[in-house]
Amino acid sequence: MPGPAFATGESVSLHPIEEEDHEFIQRGRNDPSTRVPLTDTSIRTLGDVAEMLADEEYHFLVCARGEEPEPVGVVAFPWVREESNYASLMYWTAPEHRGEGYVSEATTLLLDYAFGECGFHKIAARALVTNEASIAALESLGFEREGRLRDTFRKDGEWLDAYQYGLLADEWLA
């Protein structure tokens, strides 16, 4: 069971990640439909997940709201440059919970926190050009496409491009 909610929206809540959440995260990250869009070729053990999350303050478990919060995914800033108030966004939902709007709502909660409370200046994100759902989510949140990264990831013997996105604090807070 997830710990107390950090932020709450209409249909999701964000929770700090606890050790008992690692199995859910391992299962989600190892699923090819999650791993490939994240451009992560590593298969994660529980130990790998624990190590990946050690001392990470901007990683949150996304839970569907209900009588008991149900883990559905993760939203995070896996890379933060504190001196320039810049972070890179990452998110995923378990396959059985996709298409329900959880990514957009969870990301909104994280961006409100990052820009409103933490003073971040810019959040960046990448999406493979083949990941229409992620592209749609980023653009609906106001992220601007800043460029195309050629031959960024290899899938099934073919190189894929990725789009680079960015969102500035004044754009989000306006």
pLDDT in tens, 72-117: 999 999 999 988 899 999 999 999 999 999 999 999 999 999 999 9
Q: How far is CA 3 from the centre of its chain?
A: 19
- Give percent above pLDDT 70 in the chain: 99
- Give percent above pLDDT 90 in the chain: 80
pLDDT band at 37 (very low <50, low <70, confident <90, very high): confident
Domains of the chain: 7-173 (3.40.630.30)
Hey, what are 77's tokens? 């800033």
By C-alpha distance, which of 100, 101, 163 is closest to 135?
163
pTM: 0.93
Contact 105, 12 (CB under 8 A): yes
pLDDT in tens, 147-167: 999 999 888 889 999 999 999
pLDDT in tens, 121-152: 999 999 999 999 999 999 999 999 999 999 99
The arrangement of strands across the sheet holding 70-81 comes to 7-8, 12-16, 59-64, 70-81, 86-93, 122-128, 158-168, 144-155
Hey, what are 130's tokens? 């083949």
Q: How high is the pLDDT of residue 154? A: 86
Question: What does the pLDDT average to over 13-32?
Answer: 94
Q: Reply yes or no on whether the pLDDT at 1 is more than 70.
A: no
Q: What are phi and psi of 32, to 5 degrees?
A: -55, -30
Question: 12: which strand partners?
Answer: 64
pLDDT band at 2 (very low <50, low <70, confident <90, very high): confident
Question: 14: which strand partners?
Answer: 7, 62
